[in-house]
Every structure is written in structure tokens, then in C-alpha cells.
Amino acid sequence: MRSRTDLLLLVAFCGFLLFYGLGAFGLLGADEPRYAQVAREMLDHSDWITPTLNGKPWLEKPPLYYWQAMLSFRMARTLLSAQTSNENNGATEKAARLPGAVDATIMVFAIYFFLRKLRPGSELDGALITASSAGIIGFAHAASTDMPLTATFTIAMLAWYAWYENQRKLNLALFYIFLALGTLAKGPVAPALAALVILIFLAAKREWGLLLRALWPPAIALFFAVVLPWYVAVQLRNPEFFRVFILEHNLARFSTNVYHHPQPFWFYLPVFLLVLMPWTLWLLLAIVERAREMCREGRQALVLITPDDSWELFLLLWMIILILFFSASQSKLPGYILPAAPAAALLITESLAARRDQERRISWPLAVSHGLLCGLLIFAALSVGAVALTTPHHLIATKGTYMAVFIGGMFALSIAATLLTRSGLRLLRPITMLAVVVGVAAVIRLAAPAIDATQSARPVAEIIHAFSHEPVPVALFHVGRTQQYGLDFYLNRATQTYETGQIPAEAHVLVAGAKITPELTARLEGRRVSYLTSVPAQKLELYWVGKL
């Protein structure tokens, strides 16, 4: 009966936290529409090998997300085939983001079943703490390669540790299979990180003999059976693949700032704390308590005896090594650090389980701090829409702001008071999950329209579609690549840019990031220009430019 209740709770929370609002706002940034467009082109051409963008090979990433999105688009097309009008032909925001939500759900259930088998009693905590972390929710709602890598890498690491404890060959086979899927999700970074974590773990445990046993030939053969077909096929079809993908988008991206994503070395420390919201304080507490134990035990802490200690060491190494690895990279983006989040969530789970076993109560500073953190989450969720509509983006003191402060404050007080009761530790997860659910609902229901209006190319594409139902050329002037890739996806055709001399000779729509300037006037000399409309939320002007 308890297992049924657990599974129902997991289905309900995953359904809401990871699937609700997948299409509430348009695709954001440059990566979401770009990855979605690559998947659509591969599906349109029935090509499961070479990713293409605007008809040209796009070899930056392996195909796992594209394959998932292709299946999602095909499913959406089947469901929408009865409709008389379907401009996107199944390539919708929901379909593009569905792979991330599915992968996150599979990962959460894998954590649940792993803990139920090897750490019974903490399985629901581990699964729900992972599912309710801000980073997991956010990237489950994103059309990107970060969640496929995180899910496959996490399941692989859990399978390896299960093999470490019970020596069952099936677990080792699962480790290599999911590591192979991670390699298809984002490349050689998956096996490299797994090898690094396992080597340091075995070195700390002084169990080098297990290393050779982990290199089981049949499981290694499974790894290559999953990985090699696509890598060989894409290399044969695109001889430049090794240079573009391995040398440029793996080695050069790590060692140089060639793709212009520089950040300081400590960049991932605050990012990771935000990824774990609202469980951040409990992660810090778990790390501090573990560090104190190691200081007390001295060198003996490196030779841990109990399975519980080994599990905590494995999780610590998994989390810390990934943070240090990506901190050393010269190219940093927030999503890179996501595969460390499940390890942190499981560390929190272990810490809470130990507190329950010791029947420890929550101190008032910790209760108040956690209540304030949850209240801040609610306040941020209620305020993000208003912040998105201001230029520059900042919070303005309005009646809505004061209301958000009041609601967030009430949540903070209620949560702190609940945690200070005798049953505070037992109620920690339910009351925190309530705050997360309210926060997600506020973002989707209240902030999504503002996010869509200011950050997505969808409203601009809708204006162009309303102007002409027939496909017309679209050109850009002083428009960033975020809008460019977004329009390419929503219009399902490549836009052209005036700055590079791509000025269509035929009549076209011009999307300009500023009012007509002398520079633009010179480019339009001899052509009739009619003002169409503006998009104030994105500071864009639309014009109709007659043919040359």
C-alpha cells in the first residue's frame, strides 16, 4: 500500500512540476529554437544521422535530444493530423520540450527504485527532493541537451554504485548502456566524468582491484554497440565531424573561450546553490556536517567501512568533481553543472535520514532560514512577470510587489513555525513541496505571458503570420541571434541579415532592432518602405520593403 501511495505521489508531482506549462511561453534563448529546428529538419528529411540547420550540417551536438524531439514531433503530428489547420505541423513548444520532461521523470523514478532497493526508507525523499529542485524543474521545461545528459549520467552512476554494493553483472551492464546514451546526449564528457569520479572513489577506498572487475568486456561491448553506429555513420557522411565536434566543440570549448562564454572560476558556486533551491541550506548543512566528521576522524575518514559512509563519499565526489571540472572550463553556461544536482539531492536525502534516525529536531535558526528561503522563492515567482516587463529588468515597488511580499512573508512564517514543531523534520518535505508547487503555478499562470512577450520570438512570428499567410522572406537588422534563431524556428525558414549583406531582392518583411537610421536608409535606397507595426516589449519595428 505504501509503495502504491509513493508511486501515485511521484506521478502527481512529476506530472505537475515537470510537465505542466511546457507550452506556456515560446522557446527562449538561442539554443531552444535552434535544437528544435534541427530536430524538425531531420524529421522532415527522414534523416536520423546528420543534424542539419537551415539545410546545412549542424555538428555541435550528438543526436539523442534530436531523436527524442523527432519522435515527439511525429507523435504531435499524428495527434494533430485530423485538424484542418496546423501551421507548425507538430513542431510545437510542448513537443520540443517534452523530451526534457520525460528524461527528468525517468531519472526521478530511477532514483526512487534505486533507493528503495539499496537505501529503503528514504526513497520518496530522494525522488521528490530531486524533482522539486529549481534546476531540474527549469531544464525539464527546456528544449536542450542538458537534461538528457543529466538523466542518463545519473542512472549510469546509480547503476555503477549498485554494482559496487552487490556485484551483479546486470547493474554493470546498465551502467555502460546509460553511459553510452550519455555519450549520445552530449559526447565524451559523460564517460570522462564517470571515469574520473569512479577512479577517485576507488582510490579513496583503496579498492583498486574493483577497477579491473568493472572493465567487464561484455558490458564494454554493449557501450560500443550503442555508441559506435551513429558516430561512425555521421563521420562517414560528414568527414568534418571529428574536427567540428571533438576538436572544436569539446576540446576547444573546454580549454579556450572560442565560443565567448567566459565566467570567473567561482561562477558555478552561486549557480549550483540556485539550482538546488529551495533545498540549498540543507545541502550546505550536509556538507558542513560531513566535513566535521572527517576532521574528527582524521585519516581514518578516507578508509570508510560502512556502506552508508561509502555512499556519502561517492555522492560527495560525484558532486564536487563535476563542479571543479566545469569550473576549470573556459566556457561556462548554467546548464553544464546540472548533472551534479542529483548527487546533491541525494546527499540532502542522506542527511535528513540521519537526522530522523537520531530524532534530532530542527533548530530555530535553520527553521527560520529555510522558511525565509521558501518565502523568497514564492516572492520571486510572483514578481518575475513584473520584472520581465520593465526595461531594464528590475523590481518596481507597486501594489503587486507589496502583495507578493505579503504572500511570501506568510509562507515564510508558516513554514518556519511548522518546522519548529515536534513533527517539523517529518513535515519538512511536504511543506517545502507545497512552496515549490505554488511557485511553479505562479510562474506558469502569472509570469508566462510576460516572459513570452519579452523573451520569445513567438509574438513576432505571430505578427508576421497575421500579415501574410503565405511564406514571405524575412530579413533582420540589428536583431540578436536569440530572435534570429527563434524566428527561423517559428517561421520554419531561414531569415536573412542586412548586416552581412543578405538583403532580399524580392519584397520582404524587415524586422529591425531600432528605428530607421541613416545606415538603414542607405541600404533601402530606391525601395518602397511601409511601416507595419512595432513590438515595444522587445524594442522591434516591422516594415514591409518592396522589391528591388
If one counts every other C-beta atom within 10 angstroms of the C-beta of residue 78, the result is 10
In angstroms, rounded to a whole number, what is the distance separating the alpha carbons of residues 474 and 56? 19
Considering the entire predicted model, what is its pTM?
A: 0.93
In angstroms, rounded to a whole number, what is the distance separating the alpha carbons of residues 223 and 218? 9
Is the distance from CB of 500 to CB of 478 less than 8 angstroms? Answer: no
Say which residue the cell 519522435 belongs to: 71
pLDDT at 547: 84
How is 256-283 classified by DSSP, letter by letter? S-TTS----GGGHHHHHHHHTTTSHHHH
pLDDT at 85: 46
Domain range annotation of the chain: 2-82+90-357, 364-453, 458-545
B/e letters for 434-447, b = 16+ CB within 10 Å, e = fewer, are: bbbbbbbebbbebb
Residue 52 pairs with which residues in a beta bridge?
A: 57
How many CA atoms lie within 13 Å of 512's alpha carbon, on the beta-carbon side?
24
Torsion on CA atoms 171, 173, 174, 177, rounded to nearest 10: 160
* Residue 478: closest CA among 547, 538, 434: 538
Amino acid sitting at position 167: Q
Is the distance from CB of 344 to CB of 386 less than 8 angstroms? Answer: no
pLDDT at 390: 78
Q: What are phi and psi of 494, to 5 degrees?
A: -75, 135
Running along the chain, 548 residues long, what does each successive block of 10 average in pLDDT?
87 95 92 95 94 92 95 88 59 94 97 94 94 96 95 97 93 97 94 96 90 92 96 94 83 65 82 94 90 68 59 94 90 89 96 87 92 94 84 76 92 94 91 95 92 92 87 90 92 89 88 80 84 89 88
In angstroms, rounded to a whole number, what is the distance separating the alpha carbons of residues 67 and 445? 30
